[in-house]
Each structure stands twice: as C-alpha cells, then as structure tokens.
Structure 1
Amino acid sequence: MAGDALSDLLKTVRLTGATFFDIEAQDPWAIRSPAPSSILPRILPGADHLISYHVLTEGRCFARIVGQAAIPMEAGEVVVFTHSDPHIMSSNPDMRAEPPTADVLEIAAASQQPFALNYVKDGSLSARLVCGYLACHALPFNPLLEALPPVIKAGDAKGDGGWLGQFIRLAVSELAEKRAGSETVLTKLSELMFVDVLRRYVESLPPRQTGWLAGLRDPHLSKALALIHDRPAHNWTVEALAKESALSRTVLAERFSKIVGMPPMHYLAKWRMQIASELLSAGNSNVASIAADIGYESEAAFSRAFKKMIGVPPSAWRLGVRAASGPGIDEAAGTESQPAG
C-alpha cells in the first residue's frame, strides 16, 4: 500500500525544528528576524533552507515581510515565513527594527531552554510570542517549498479545540515549568505544528489551484505521488501509474503535468535524485548501492544521470561541492523524462 507523499517528503528533506525565543513585549515594540545564515548552522548543519514561525500566545501584533503589507495577528494564531524572508514582528505595522546581535544568537543557541527576550519596561505585558525555526534541504528538489507562498497565517476557529490551540497550551506550559527536556518537546511540537499549518493551507486552496500541494488534494494524483514516493526504485511507466491511480494513461499524464507542473516521469527522475542526494550526504552507502536503491541498473548509469541533472557527479555532491556554473536542476532535469535503466 502506498504511503503518504507529504510525510515521505518531510522525512527525505530532513525537516527538523528548533525553538529559540520566548518573547514578552510591551507596546511599542518591534523585532526583526536574524539572517538565515546566522541560524541555519545552529539548527541543522548542512541544511540549505530556513523556515521561521511565530506563535502569538497573548495579545495582538503585526507580522510583515520587510517592504510588504503588515498582517494583523491575535492570540492563538501562528505566522510562518516559509522562506525566512527578512521580516518584522511588531506592535505597530509601520515600525522598524534591527535583527538581534551575534552575541544574542550565540547565547540563545547554547541555551538548554528557549531563550527569553523581555521587552517589558515598567508597564503591563501587551504581547507574548514563541518564536522558532525549522530547517530542511531544498536542494536538489523540494517540491513542497516551491509550492508554498512566502507567508502563511493560521489559527483555530474559536472554540474548536484544534491542534494550534493545543500547541500553544503545551508550549506555554513547557516555557513556564522549564522541566528537563523542554527544548526537545518544543522542537517536536514545532514540527507537528508546521505539518498542521500545511494541512490547513492545502484545505484552503481554491479549486483551480495548481502546484504540488494541489496535487496532494486530488485523489488520483495524490495516489500517483504516493506510489512514486513509496517505491522510487520501481520501474514505473505512465501506464503503470495510471492503472494504480484509476485513470487512463492520457488523463493521468495531462492532469499530472497541468497540476503538479511537470510530467510524471520527470517528477520520478527528480524525486530519485532527491533521495540519492540525501543518501550521499549521509555517507553510509556506496554509490552502487544508492544507484540500486533508486532504480538504476548500474552505478555508471546513475552517475551519468546524477551529473546531468544536478551538475556535479555523486562523489562531488558527497563532498559538499555545488558547481556554480553547472545547469540548474529544472533546466537539466527536463531531459530526464523516462525511468533510468
């Protein structure tokens, strides 16, 4: 039975979370995000993509990407900056701020508990936030990141007792009691919270939306995607995927290309290379076994396909080399339209 394409992707791109800041603030206040390059090495060394989130547990505030319109927030809501673009959380939509200094980030990263930032002077608390980060691998192929908007805001409907409300209650409890293991608990909670935000976003997509996430909502395409993710080494053809997905070959090919944005075999080839890149980075398998694991009959065939698509040979990827002058993955992958043999 095929698995869950979203879960498979999140495991393959090594989504991991870290909670750094517990912020209490008094109006007026404003906080700007640190640069991703200063956060990523502390969360997941070697990862190339940072996601920022801010959960408002008390009060009201505004969230905005620098240079864009502000988004109002109320207690119980979370905002996720999916590409960690420079952004500001503030009490007023027009306020400016500077990012935390390097020494603050060093102290926060070394802390065994979420790092407290107190912006309350002599008045009462007007906002409290739990702010954290998620890291993952965007290269060579992460269709989820390509499908997400820069900002997602989510919140439970009043009184429905949804997961976000439970996350906030648990997070506040962990922050208050400061028990052993709080950092780990909050890290796992943040990962679960992100998955729930993704689910809500998928459910909110308009009927004619296209993209990878829209493909997950289509019962036939979600089946085809799950099959590819679950059995990447299988000698898939469009006919075989169509049969398993209860569609004709023509309808599957057309619908997959229109909604997901590429032909099924193109997607299969790119997904195989994503798995291969993770296995190469882990360093526990030789190239020949990786080739077999993702459906290539020989190490040479795999190496040729990998270099053609990624721009460097497998050995160079393993050493962490990215060829700056090599072909972009979307351009190179366009020629890999059939399962490798």
Structure 2
Amino acid sequence: MNVHGVDPLEDILTLIGTTSRLSVGLVAGGRWALSFEPPAGVKFNAVLRGHCVLTVDGLPEPIPLAEGDCFLLIQPRAFTLASEPGVRPLPAGPVFAAATGGVARVGEGEDVIFAGGRFGFGERAQELLLDLLPPVMHVPGGTAEAATVRWALDLIDAELRERPLAATLVTEHLALVMLIHLLRLHLATAGPGETSGWLAGIADPVVAPALRAMHARPAHAWTVSELAAVAAVSRSTLAARFKQVVGQGPLEYLTGWRIELAADRLRSGDDTVAAIADQVGYGSVSALSNAFKRVAGVSPRDYRLWKRGNGALSPGRP
C-alpha cells in the first residue's frame, strides 16, 4: 500500500484555490503612522528596508518589524503601521490613493520600504484553512522562509511591472510558494493550541501518516485498524490521538474530506453524481446522497443547482 509522499496541505491548497495581487508599495520616513481598514482577503507585507511597529486590533501587544520581516494578516482586522508607538495615525486610504509610480509615501525620507499585497482564496478557504490559523503570522527576517518570501515578492513585482507572457499565472504560483513557506514555518514553530484540525494533524507524528493515507486514497474503504497499521500504532491509540489532535475521529474526517471532494466536483465539473460517488468512495448515488445531505444539508443534485445560480437553497456545509 503506497501512501507515502501524499500531502494533505497540497490537497487542500489546491482545492481552495489561491490567487495574489501585489499592492502599491510604501515608503515612509521620520515619525509616521498609517491606519488600515480591515482588508479583503489575506494581507501580506514584507519590510524591505528599515523597521517599524505593527499593531493589530484585538492583539494585546504591538509587533516590532525589522528589515526582512514579513507578516500575514489572516483575519480581516484593522491594523496600524508606525515608526514607533504613540504616533497619531493617518488613514492609509488617501495616502495610497495619492501614490505615484506605484509607490505611496508618508512622513519624510525613506527610512522604511514595504512590499506586499493580498492572497485571495476560493469559497471553502475560511473553514478549511483560515479558521485554523492565528490572526497574524509574523515571520522574522532571519528565517529561510522570510528569504523565500522576499525572493518571491521581487519576482512578483518584476512580473507585474514587465508583464511577460503568462505573468498572471506566474504570480499566482509565486504567491502559493510564499504561502506554503509561511505555513511550513508556522507548523514548525507553533506551540500547543496554536493550530487545530487537519493542520495540527499533519504536524503530529501519529496522526500524519493516517491523514496522508486517507488523502492518497480517499475512495478506499478505510477502517481504523488499517489506518492504525499505517501509523504503526494500536487502533485505540490512533482513534484517541486523532480525536485529541484533529477534533474528530479518523472516519469522520474521511467522510468530511470525501464530501469536500464531491462538492468541489459538483461546483466545477460536469461529471454525473454517479461518477462522483464512485470517485470519492461511495458505491451508489444514494450512499453519496445520504452522506452529502448529512454533512451539507442538501442533496448533491440540489447543491449543484444552488451553486450554479438557482439561489433558492441555503446549504450549510460545504
């Protein structure tokens, strides 16, 4: 049974889709501060020169940012960038609206230079990924991940300025590179309770092999005993550890992932419900329909109609 090398993170990032948009650059100097409204999407910034302070609504302490640092604002919260604490901020909107040559300026001089933009995701990103992450991810400049982010930002900037062939596709792939490196660092450094769900599971030595197995063969009729053998632990150990780390049992997780796959095919493809049932591990349309309705609140056929503009239904999940 070959289940090695299959990556749940890759599966889920592919399913939710990722796009990027580079924003206007920012140059700041002297004593300055800018207040930003909660952004649409996931905001990212890198400090290419200098240092400043990031304050985010709801976080008790400001975050010092040094040259080479970057941050990812996962939740749509208002935030402030400033030369130092205590400076009265200007609203960022008018400053960026007045940008010339793709650069906004605040204060006097060029002490600090920022590059950044936003990640956009598909409709399932909130529940499948973003809700599992902290509101802000700060990556210090001395890490390999920050160096990769800066490399990717430089390439994105060049692609968007020069617009060679397939520039949009290249920038989207570079954005995904950035996001993956940020998530890798988060998983490597997160303390207890800082991740949850499948994201915590892929960092757990007992749970991860079982997750990889299910993602490798989602249509297989997995049993807890088979998954425990893959993880090289007892059935009871896997069941307890999976529930503790992921928040649900392994077969419950498998059902949820199968329904995610089915929903994605219903939204974006033209396969019949019978074909989709076979692809995701259900032996009949009725078996898929029962599981889908239990999880999503509607039948697969009604879900497809609703997603394609019927508008009369209000499914819960996915």
1:244 aligned counterpart, secondary structure: helix
1:262 lines up with 2:248 in the alignment: yes
Quick one: which amino acid aligns to residue 9 of structure 1? I
Q: Distance in 1 between matches of 2:46 and 2:113?
A: 8
Question: Kindly tell me: are residues 205 and 142 of structure 1, through their superposed partners in 2, closer, same or farther at Cα, counting changes over 3 Å?
Answer: same
Say which of 215, 220, 230 aligns to 1:234: 220
Matches of 2:275 and 2:290, distance apart in 1? 15
Q: Structure 1 246/56 Cα, relative in aligned 2: closer, same or farther at 3 Å?
A: same
Identify the residue that residue 32 of structure 1 maps to in structure 2: 36
Aligned to 1:315: 301
Kindly indicate whether the alpha-carbon contact (under 8 Å) linking 1:253 and 1:264 is maintained by their aligned counterparts in 2. yes
The alpha carbon displacement at 1:174 in A equals 5.7
Distance 2:223 2:232 in 1: 14
1:71 to 63, 66, 88: 63
Given the superposition, is the C-alpha separation of residues 171 and 13 from structure 1 closer, same or farther in structure 2, using an over 3 Å criterion?
Answer: closer
Q: Would you say the 8 A contact 2:54–2:81 is kept in 1?
A: yes
User: Which of 166, 171, 189 is equivalent to 2:153?
Assistant: 171
Distance 1:67 1:277 in 2: 34
Q: Which runs of 5+ in 1 are unaligned?
A: 37-49, 109-114, 330-341
Which residue in 2 is equivalent to 1:55?
46
Cα deviation digits, residues 124-166 of structure 1 (max 9, x gap): 2122112211122353884433321111101243xx7x24224
User: Which runs of 5 or more residues in structure 2 are unaligned?
Assistant: none
TM-score (norm 1): 0.77
TM-score, structure 2 normalization: 0.82
> Compared with structure 1, are the counterparts of its residues 256 and 322 closer, same or farther at alpha carbon in structure 2 (3 Å cutoff)?
farther
d(CA) in 1 for partners of 2:313, 2:131: 21
1:200 to 182, 185, 200: 185
Superposed displacement of residue 209, structure 1: 6.5
Contact residue 138 and residue 145 of structure 1 kept, 8 A: no
Match of 2:23 in 1: 20
Cα deviations by residue, 1:6-46 (Å, 9 ceiling, x for unpaired): 1111112223322233222234131414542xxxxxxxxxx
- CA contact under 8 A between 1:64 and 1:70: conserved in structure 2? yes
Q: Does residue 91 of structure 1 match 2:83?
A: yes
The alignment of Structure 1 onto Structure 2 pairs a total of residues equal to 303
Q: 2:283 aligns to what?
A: 297
Q: Percent of counterpart pairs with the same letter?
A: 28
